[in-house]
Amino acid sequence: MVKLRLISELSGHEDRVWQASWDCTGNRLATCSGDKSARIWAPIASERFFKAQQHSKENISDGSSNESMDVDQTSASTWQCLDIIDNAHKRTVRSIAFEPTSSKAVATASFDGTTAIWEKEDDAYECVATLEGHENEAKCVAWSPSGQLLATCGRDKSVWIWESNGEGDFDCISVLMEHTQDVKMVLWHPINDMLVSFSYDDTMRVWKEDDDDWYSAATLTGHKSTVWGGAFSPDGKYLASVSDDRTIRVWTQSNDDGSRASGADKGFYYKPDANFKCIAVVPDTVHSRAIYSVSWAGAPAGAPATDLGYLATGCGDNSLRVLKVTAAAGEDTGVTVELVCEHKDAHGLSDINCVRWNPVHFGWLATCGDDSTVRIWNLDLSQD
């Protein structure tokens, strides 16, 4: 039986925590909150913390009881808050992302419409650039895998692409206005320079570039309500999306040439050359309220080739869930997604806003909730 054990609880934020981002080493975590600040956290002794995968067996919890969680006795002191960034944004900080190659820089996007880039000078984080342009709340910021491009999106229905000019500052290279409503999240493909945006208009859009011109390469329809976010599998072959309609959809790029030109796809920057098809849907009976976040962890070392990893979801019904993705036997692109662990009241009686698997240390998960805390979990796959 797969279990999720609560290992640490990070308190400090004074309002709901919206998002978390692991750095490139997997040893630091950045979080942002409605209290207008961002915080950087790390375990006091990273090597020991992440290697101790088997915490004492007495601390087993199957996740179904509300009251005590198996918090390791000493865990209250094993994480510390390294930095607090609280002097730039005048409103909620909605999104935060560590630069993926060296994690020297961290970006924050705020309801005040701006995106700020921070770097640590001496002892504190300094704001090295402020990116303005969104007409109202900015909702997400994401770095491309090379660290050269940044994407932001917001309630003004637009997706902005920025390029690093080498001196710590960013130039806006594209403003994409194809969504018909609020854009909730932007996500880069882990390998190629391809961007996906998720929107209140119930669709997702895939963006590619052709000679520095960014265009909409596909519109993914299927969700019946706001698409809150998504995650690529670490090899970039699959995309999972989650929505207010309480379902998870898994997509992959298909090779068939049938292009779908429907009215919804027309747009100024639209060239339908990317074909995505939905290959699996987790029905709305699994999650009982809107799903706000999903993260995809690759399979652990030594797993069979059909093991495509684990999805973690954060939901408005207070539960944290883990689903196993397996390649369907005999089919080229089919997958099955199966619920393997459900941890109720993961953040007490509060919504879970964000879930993020550690990109380096397998099985470690960070979650953020409306209860103003950040929690660190460990996935226990051992069968006992």
Partner 1 sequence: MNITQKINDAPLVYEVVSKARDIQQSDFDDAVSDPVDSEEVYELIRNINDPEHPLTLEQLHVTNKEHVFVDDSANRVLIEFTPTIPHCSMAALIGLCIRVRLLRSLPERFKVDIKVREGTHQSEEHVNKQLNDKERVAAALENTYLLDVINQCLATAV
Residues that bind partner 1 (CB under 8 A): 16, 34, 91-92, 94, 111, 136-137, 139, 155, 182, 184, 200, 225-226, 244, 289, 316-317, 349-351
User: Which is nearer to partner 1, 92 or 108 (by Cβ)?
Assistant: 92
CB of 111 to partner 1, least distance (A): 5
User: Which is nearer to partner 1, 98 or 111 (by Cβ)?
Assistant: 111
User: Which is nearer to partner 1, 275 or 350 (by Cβ)?
Assistant: 350
CB of 26 to partner 1, least distance (A): 28
CB of 18 to partner 1, least distance (A): 8
User: Which is nearer to partner 1, 70 or 345 (by Cβ)?
Assistant: 345
- What HEC string does the chain produce? CCEEEEEEEECCCCCCEEEEEECCCCCCEEEEECCCCEEEEEECCHHHHHHCCCCCHHHCCCCCCCCCCCCCCCHHHCEEEEEEECCCCCCCEEEEEECCCCCCEEEEEECCCCEEEEEEECCEEEEEEEECCCCCCEEEEEECCCCCEEEEEECCCCEEEEEECCCCCEEEEEEECCCCCCEEEEEECCCCCCEEEEECCCCEEEEEEECCEEEEEEEECCCCCCEEEEEECCCCCEEEEEECCCCEEEEEECCCCCCCCCHHHCCCCECCCCCEEEEEEECCCCCCCCEEEEEEECCCCCCCCCEEEEEEEEECCCCEEEEEEEECCCCCCCEEEEEEEEECCECECCCEEEEEECCCCCCEEEEEECCCCEEEEEEECCCC
The residue assigned the tokens 């797969």 is 2
User: Which is nearer to partner 1, 178 or 244 (by Cβ)?
Assistant: 244
CB of 31 to partner 1, least distance (A): 16
What's the angle, vertex CA 59, arms to CA 288 and CA 319, rounded to 5?
Answer: 10
CB of 56 to partner 1, least distance (A): 32
CB of 91 to partner 1, least distance (A): 5
CB of 200 to partner 1, least distance (A): 7
User: Which is nearer to partner 1, 209 or 317 (by Cβ)?
Assistant: 317
User: Which is nearer to partner 1, 286 or 299 (by Cβ)?
Assistant: 286
User: Which is nearer to partner 1, 111 or 214 (by Cβ)?
Assistant: 111
Choose among 19, 25, 103: nearest CA to 359.
25
Q: 268 with 276: CB under 8 angstroms?
A: no
CB atoms within 10 A of CB 332: 10
User: Which is nearer to partner 1, 162 or 200 (by Cβ)?
Assistant: 200
CB of 162 to partner 1, least distance (A): 22
Distance CA 89, CA 41 (A): 19
The residue assigned the tokens 């298909």 is 254
CB of 17 to partner 1, least distance (A): 13
User: Which is nearer to partner 1, 182 or 193 (by Cβ)?
Assistant: 182
CB of 202 to partner 1, least distance (A): 10
Strands 374-380 and 3-10: antiparallel
Distance CA 251, CA 294 (A): 14
